[in-house]
Amino acid sequence: MEDYKKITNFIYEVGILSKTPRSGLWFLGTGQQSVAEHLLRTAYIGYILSYLFPQADRFKVILMCLFHDLGEGRTSDLNYIHQRYGRLAEATAITDIASSVPFGKEIKDLYEESASKKTWEGKLVKDADQLEWLATMREEEVKGNIKAKKWAEIAYKRLKTPVGKKLGKFLLTVNPDAWWFDEKDEWFVERDSKFKPWKMGSDPETLNSNDSKRKSLRKN
């Protein structure tokens, strides 16, 4: 029963991540994002990167993505300005969290591997982290934030893996709305049933779903 009490406390603790803001957006001037929102999309991106780089352990990559900022529920998120004056005590927070749950060793091992960035899995997780931030910047850029473009370009320069860099190039050029909006799609004007079948935009900034581009992405 004691383990169940510890696990229950952990469930409530991770809920704090949905209330913990990503502080870099304060300096950008627009946008809002919680640490939990960041972790979720990072995990999706980690899945994608491990698909494009099948040598990596996909299960481990996804778990590391979910846990890499777990400590920020206790430390908060410090952006690059804040970090000039003091680094996060995330490692200490992770150690404390790990000691409080029966599966703590796995959490600590995953965190330390992602933080070290020595394995392919750790490198992919770091790239997933940066790609999520890059995507967030692109979303703010198309809304009119003129600083976001430069921030996205800086995030791209931090990428380390071949697949991360290739995916980053697409994120820099594909419009964030391309997955659902094409101004040439008559459905948005007529809303007639004959135009209802889903279409991907043909604009140069949209990501076509043809096999050649998928194969290009998967090359190392």
Residue 87 is part of a domain; what is its CATH number?
1.10.3210.10
Tens of pLDDT along the chain (220 residues) come to: 789 999 999 999 999 999 999 999 999 999 999 999 999 999 999 999 999 999 999 999 999 999 999 999 999 998 888 888 877 799 999 999 999 999 999 999 999 999 999 999 999 999 999 999 999 999 999 999 999 999 999 999 999 999 999 999 999 999 999 999 988 888 888 877 777 787 665 444 444 443 444 445 555 5
Q: Is residue 115 part of a domain?
A: yes
- In whole angstroms, what is the distance from residue 195 CA to residue 202 CA? 16
Domain range for 27 is: 2-123
Query: Structure pTM?
Result: 0.88
Q: Of 25, 38, 39, 59, whose CA–CA distance to 147 is shortest?
A: 25
d(CA 4, CA 163): 40
What is the rounded distance in angstroms from the CA atom of residue 170 to the CA atom of residue 127? 14
Asked whether residue 194 is domain-assigned, the answer is no
Closest CA to 217 of 54, 58, 52: 52
- Domains in the chain, number: 1
Closest CA to 68 of 118, 26, 128: 128
* Phi-psi sector, 144: left (phi>0), alpha (psi -120 to 50), beta: left
Residue 213: predicted pLDDT: 44
Measured CA angle at 118 (ends 111, 165), to 5 deg: 100
186 within a domain of the structure (yes/no):
no
Task: Decide if 140 contacts 30 (C-beta within 8 A).
Answer: yes
Position 120: which residue type? W
Burial letters 77-100, b for 16+ CB under 10 A, else e? bbeeebeeeeebebeebbbebbee
19 domain-assigned: yes
- The pLDDT value given to residue 216: 53
Q: For 180-189, b where at least 16 C-beta lie within 10 A, e where not — what string?
A: eebeebeeee
In a domain, 88, yes or no: yes
Domain membership of residue 34 (yes or no) is: yes
Structure token digits, residue 14: 């991770």
Query: Could you tell me if residue 28 is inside a domain?
Result: yes
- Return the residue matching tokens 């964030």: 176
Asked, for residue 62, whether it belongs to a domain, the answer is: yes
3-state secondary structure 71-91: CHHHHCCCCHHHHCCCCCCHH
Sign of CA pseudo-dihedral 144, 150, 153, 158? negative
C-alpha span between 206 and 189 (Å, rounded): 20
